[in-house]
């Protein structure tokens, strides 16, 4: 199992992954940026983005996945998302109180509307996606370490 | 209403099979069916946001469970004081059922919600926040403190998991570990 994982799965799985992983990533971004217009939002979009990287890692092995998204970048994005969310909340003090919607609301049903809500969605998705991918990495790598030690 | 009950029965059957089956992979798949049925229930109850989140998180949890538990033989202990354990379990189930039956009497009837707070959201949310998805306007504008707390919980959980399972903390003496497989 361990060796199979190092070199990835079969050719069929790799080809299908190559065709679909970009679409999954794009769908995650769509769900995320339309979170204030249609169902979805930051949490679901972030998880779908994390799933696209999980998909890549399951099919191609961890080397390819780390080349696309190194461990340090994952940890950076996780902290950056949390700080960005808190920063948006603190920026509300410039025009009133914590978490005030200080950007102009815009027109409903437009992509650029609703003030800080899309920005919050982006922050949450960065946080959630990077965090869940980090959990996946930690658990899977722990398992392979345990197998190697046997 | 009938489809709701059918899905609930399906969920209960899936959960019971997940507990009873011997094979670990089959148990994980049964847990997955429970989550799928739950997301369909959310769709029937007109909550597409929750349905999307539920099915996506369910897929991720399933992959993590399969990758983390497959081919790992966990010890299954059936010996011990099963009479005492079963008695305590049945007693607590009885207590919880009684309390729940008392509490559920006070709730409004199914499909007839109290519209004291939510009426304001439904009428004013689009005007006040500009977001047409009212769920997003509630979790990120009216109730943004809750979301901040939830984000903190997730952040703490990730940090906790990384701290517990990282490898660099438990090297033996004299063992050299490269930075990349930390």
Region A107-135: what's the mean pLDDT? 83
Residue B68 lies in a domain: yes
Is residue B96 over pLDDT 90?
yes
Is residue A62 over pLDDT 70?
yes
Region A7-30: what's the mean pLDDT? 86
Facing residue for B158 by CB, picked from A99, A124, A131: A131
Residue ranges covered by each domain of chain A: 2-149
Would the CB atoms of A43 and B53 count as touching at under 8 Å? yes
Interface probe for B, chosen from A123, A138, A141 (most Cβ of B below 10 Å), is A138
User: Do both B68 and B119 map to the same domain?
Assistant: no
Q: Examine the fold and report which residue of B16, B50, B72 is the final residue of a domain before the chain moves on.
A: B72
Map residue A38 onto helix, strand or coil: coil
Residue B42 and residue B51 in contact, taking contact as beta carbons nearer than 8 Å: yes
Residue A137 and residue A70 in contact, taking contact as beta carbons nearer than 8 Å: no
Is residue B63 over pLDDT 60?
yes
Residue B143 lies in a domain: yes
Which residues in chain B have their CB less than 8 angstroms from residue A139's CB? 64, 67-68, 161, 165
User: How far does B133 lie from chain A, in Å, by closest CA?
Assistant: 5
Facing residue for B165 by CB, picked from A44, A50, A142: A142
Radius of gyration of chain A (CA): 18
Which residues of chain B approach chain A closer than 8 Å at the C-beta?
Answer: 48-49, 51-53, 56-57, 59-60, 63-64, 67-68, 71-72, 126, 129-133, 135-137, 139-141, 144-145, 147-148, 151-152, 154-155, 157-158, 161-162, 165-167, 180-182
**pLDDT score recorded for residue B14:** 92
- % of residues, chain B, pLDDT over 70: 84
Is residue B100 over pLDDT 90?
yes
Q: Provide the pLDDT confidence category of residue B68 given band limits of 50, 70 and 90.
A: low
Would the CB atoms of A108 and B126 count as touching at under 8 Å? yes
Q: Provide the pLDDT confidence category of residue A3 given band limits of 50, 70 and 90.
A: very low
Residue A120 and residue A92 in contact, taking contact as beta carbons nearer than 8 Å: no
How confident is the prediction for chain B on average, in pLDDT?
Answer: 81
- Write down the pTM of the prediction: 0.79
Angle between the A42-60 and B48-69 helix axes, to the nearest 10 degrees? 30
Is residue A100 over pLDDT 80?
no
What does the alpha-carbon distance between residue A37 and residue B63 come to, in Å, rounded to a whole number? 30
Is residue B91 over pLDDT 90?
yes
Is residue B90 over pLDDT 90?
yes
Kindly report which listed range (A93-102, A117-126, A141-150) carries the lowest average pLDDT score. Answer: A141-150
| Token pair 């992979």: residue | B25
What does the alpha-carbon distance between residue A112 and residue A68 come to, in Å, rounded to a whole number? 30
Is residue A115 over pLDDT 80?
no
Q: Examine the fold and report which residue of B48, B72, B96 is the final residue of a domain before the chain moves on.
A: B72
User: How far does B26 lie from chain A, in Å, by closest CA?
Assistant: 19
Residue A93 and residue B139 in contact, taking contact as beta carbons nearer than 8 Å: no
User: Do both B64 and B123 map to the same domain?
Assistant: no
Region A118-142: what's the mean pLDDT? 84
H helix runs in chain A, sequence order: 2-6, 11-33, 42-60, 62-68, 71-91, 117-149
Nearest CA-CA partner of A37 in A121, A127, A123: A121
User: Could you report the per-residue pLDDT of B162-172, keeping only the tens digit for each?
Assistant: 888 766 555 55
Q: Examine the fold and report which residue of B50, B72, B94 is the final residue of a domain before the chain moves on.
A: B72
Would the CB atoms of A127 and B151 count as touching at under 8 Å? yes
Which residues in chain B have their CB less than 8 angstroms from residue A54's CB? 60, 63
**pLDDT score recorded for residue A4:** 45
Q: What is the DSSP string of B96-158?
A: HHHHHHHHHTTSPPTT----SSHHHHHHHHHHHH--S-HHHHIIIIITHHHHHHHHHHHHHHH
Count of domains observed in chain B: 2
Give the tokens for residue B54: 């539920």
Residue A70: alpha-carbon gap to chain centroid: 14
How confident is the prediction for chain A on average, in pLDDT?
Answer: 81
**pLDDT score recorded for residue B82:** 77
| Token pair 């946080």: residue | A127
Would the CB atoms of A138 and B48 count as touching at under 8 Å? no
What is the complex's ipTM, to 2 decimals? Answer: 0.78
CA angle B175, B181, B182 (to 5 degrees): 80
What does the alpha-carbon distance between residue A35 and residue A29 come to, in Å, rounded to a whole number? 10
Facing residue for B154 by CB, picked from A128, A140, A141: A128
User: Do both B68 and B14 map to the same domain?
Assistant: yes
Q: Which residues, at least 6 apart from A130, have a Cβ–Cβ distance to it below 8 Å? A: A46, A50, A74, A75, A76, A77, A78, A81
For B159, the domain range is 113-171
| Token pair 């003030």: residue | A115
Kindly report which listed range (A85-89, B35-39, B95-99, B166-170) carries the lowest average pLDDT score. Answer: B166-170
Give the tokens for residue A103: 């950007």
């Amino acid at each position: 199992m361990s060796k199979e994982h190092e070199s990835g799965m079969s050719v069929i799985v790799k080809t299908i992954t190559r065709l679909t992983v970009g679409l999954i990533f794009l769908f995650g971004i769509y769900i995320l940026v339309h979170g204030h217009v249609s169902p979805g939002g930051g949490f679901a979009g972030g998880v779908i983005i994390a799933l696209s990287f999980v998909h890549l890692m399951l099919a191609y092995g961890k080397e390819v996945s780390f080349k696309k998204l190194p461990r340090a970048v994952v940890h950076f994005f996780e902290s950056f998302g949390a700080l960005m969310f808190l920063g948006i909340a603190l920026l509300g003090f410039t025009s009133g109180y914590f978490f005030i919607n200080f950007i102009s609301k815009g027109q409903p049903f437009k992509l650029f509307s609703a003030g800080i809500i899309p920005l919050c969605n982006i922050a949450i998705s960065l946080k959630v996606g990077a965090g869940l991918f980090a959990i996946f990495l930690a658990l899977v790598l722990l398992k392979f370490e345990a197998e190697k030690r046997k | 209403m009938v489809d709701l009950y059918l899905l609930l029965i399906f969920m209960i059957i899936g959960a019971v099979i997940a507990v009873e089956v011997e094979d670990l992979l089959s148990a994980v798949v049964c847990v997955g069916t429970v989550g799928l049925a739950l997301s369909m229930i959310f769709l029937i109850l007109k909550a597409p946001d929750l349905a999307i989140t539920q099915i996506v998180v369910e897929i991720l949890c399933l992959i993590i469970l399969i990758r983390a538990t497959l081919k790992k033989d966990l010890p299954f202990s059936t010996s011990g004081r099963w009479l005492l354990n079963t008695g305590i379990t049945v007693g607590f189930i009885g207590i919880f059922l009684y309390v729940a039956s008392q509490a559920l009497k006070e709730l409004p009837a199914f499909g007839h919600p109290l519209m004291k707070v939510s009426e304001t959201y439904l009428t004013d949310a689009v005007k006040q926040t500009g977001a047409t998805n009212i769920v997003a306007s509630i979790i990120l504008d009216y109730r943004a403190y809750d979301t901040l707390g939830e984000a903190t919980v997730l952040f703490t959980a990730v940090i906790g998991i990384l701290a517990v399972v990282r490898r660099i903390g438990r090297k033996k003496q004299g063992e050299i570990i490269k930075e990349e497989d930390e």
